[in-house]
Structure 1
Amino acid sequence: MRAPDTTSDTALLIEAAALAGEIALRYFRVDHRVWDKADGAGPVTEADLAVDAMLRSHLIGARPGYGWLSEETADDAARLDAERCFIIDPIDGTRAFISGEVTWAHSLAVAEAGRVVAAVVAMPAKKAVYAAARGAGATRNGKPLHVSAAAGPDDVTIVTARPNLAPHLWPGGLPRHARHYRPSLAYRLALVGEGRYDAMVTFRDTWEWDIAAGALIVEEAGGTVTDRLGAPLRFNTPGRLAAGTLAANPALHHGLIQRILS
């Protein structure tokens, strides 16, 4: 059977994200169970698991041949043999969700042959939905997105955690910058796709579910997204991790990589 086109998959992700938002908002800013995962993997809540269960039922119900990779589901190596695979973070920015901040997201993506082909980053508490289909552009609430035109690598805005701007990580010289921060990696990438900030960087190894959807949004908004050393990102991999992430418009991305690799 022929696989659905990428715009059809994106429409499915938008539909699923709306349902996820309805569930998550029922738990938002009200008392609910929160506990820590094993091995220092961070907190998880009732909301994370409720959203994950609904998304798996809804998405696999619609695409039974797709694989499944989610932060909140035990990994199944069968996904590696699937032609397409859902890559899901039910709530990206769980700490922000717990503290009542609005900067958490549902990060939903479909990968095929190592590349993301459909993506949604939904922000229910902000009433914002970022979406992209490979070859069809990226949008926020239906309006087209484009990355900033900042030439850089100096005098740029970077959305990142403070440790990523430690001078020793930039042998070619730390860019002159204004730093901004959002707890959700998916949202950071979406903001670069929107042109709100010029670049996003994280040097730490990064789980695929945190960056898959946002990476396609940046790319379809005209940007470049790689790992911290400039290598292409690959998704639905056995290890599920990327070697950091750097996103910006192509010229700025090149300049930042030169500062990192010098």
Structure 2
Amino acid sequence: MNDYIDDLQLLEKVAREAGELSLQYWKQSPEAWNKPADQGPVSEADLAVNDFLESHLRGARPAYGWLSEESVDGAERLENERVFIIDPIDGTRAFLGEDPGFGQSVAVAENGRVIAGVVHMPALDLTYTATLDGPALLNGAPIQPSKTTQIRGATVLTSKLSDDPGIWLNGFPGYERAFRPSMAWRLCLVAEGRFDATISMRKSWEWDVAAASLIAERAGVRVTNRLGEPFGFNRPECQEDGLVVAPPELHADFMAQLRN
């Protein structure tokens, strides 16, 4: 027997409480500013939720390491067998724009693999969960991806950057593009079959994808970087080269058509 369920229950409880905290700031014009080096916006709400999560999660699991978008990183986490990987508000731009498409992404990784993950969207009342050996669930019900096998005509969550013909071997492959600000939610939307795939040609941070990558994989979706390599977690650099998330046959079509 393992204790993955114990960790999942902790993650879900604290994520829901953190979601309630984030809603106290939502639509209240919280103070916000831009991070250095064009890393996007951050707000007082992000920091408050981050503090809440760290206090409650590390208070319950003091032996676990900590990696969060809104915390100063330290090499000591690399010595921990298990580590929390956290984005306190994934989709800060949506949050500040009073869009409901933001949420908490909370995960536990063990020796480089995510073993429990929760993506909680408090304004939408959506909670996605999974453990390494359990099903992917949305509000407690099993989810599964679409059965789409080819890029042409597929619905793909991505930015305009992915439309560049130069990144494709034979030019733009004819998918239907959509977008959601929260990367974690994008992976979950693919996991539940509302969209066929999500891709990104930019670097992907661990905290954006850790929880959702497990949820997608347990739903039956393949999750890799743009080179087709699986993600590893709690690494020194905390980044991967892009993102391709799709059901297996569709993922294979992406790999065949992307210029890598």
Q: What range describes the TM-score normalised by the shorter chain of this pair?
A: over 0.9
> Which among 138, 153, 156 is matched to residue 154 of structure 2?
156
> Which among 110, 113, 130 is matched to residue 111 of structure 2?
113
Does the 8 A contact of 1:10 with 1:133 survive in 2? Answer: yes
| Other-structure match for 2:166 | 168
d(CA) in 1 for partners of 2:87 and 2:185? 12
Residue segments in structure 1 that go unaligned for 5+ positions in a row = none
Does the 8 A contact of 1:229 with 1:261 survive in 2? Answer: no
TM-score calculated relative to the size of structure 2: 0.97
Q: CA deviation at 1:144?
A: 0.4
| Other-structure match for 1:31 | 29
d(CA) in 2 for partners of 1:234 and 1:104? 24
Does the 8 A contact of 1:172 with 1:258 survive in 2? Answer: no
Q: CA deviation at 1:229?
A: 0.7
TM-score calculated relative to the size of structure 1: 0.96
Q: Tell me, yes or no, if structure 1 residue 93 matches structure 2 residue 91.
A: yes
| Other-structure match for 1:234 | 232
d(CA) in 2 for partners of 1:216 and 1:13? 14
For residues 102-151 of structure 1, give each alpha carbon's deviation from its aligned partner in whole angstroms, at most 9, with x where no partner exists.
Answer: 00111111111111111111100001001111120111101101111101
Does the 8 A contact of 2:155 with 2:175 survive in 1? Answer: yes
Does the 8 A contact of 1:130 with 1:190 survive in 2? Answer: yes
d(CA) in 1 for partners of 2:180 and 2:201? 16
Letter in 1 for 2:112: G
Residue segments in structure 2 that go unaligned for 5+ positions in a row = none
For residues 48-89 of structure 1, give each alpha carbon's deviation from its aligned partner in whole angstroms, at most 9, with x where no partner exists.
Answer: 001000100100111111110000000011110101111000
Q: Which deviates more, 164-173 or 174-183?
A: 164-173
Q: CA deviation at 1:164?
A: 1.5
d(CA) in 2 for partners of 1:8 and 1:254? 35
Letter in 2 for 1:121: V
Q: Percent identity?
A: 47
| Other-structure match for 2:61 | 63
Q: Which deviates more, 173-182 or 227-236?
A: 173-182
Aligned CA RMSD, in angstroms, stands at 1.3
| Other-structure match for 2:45 | 47
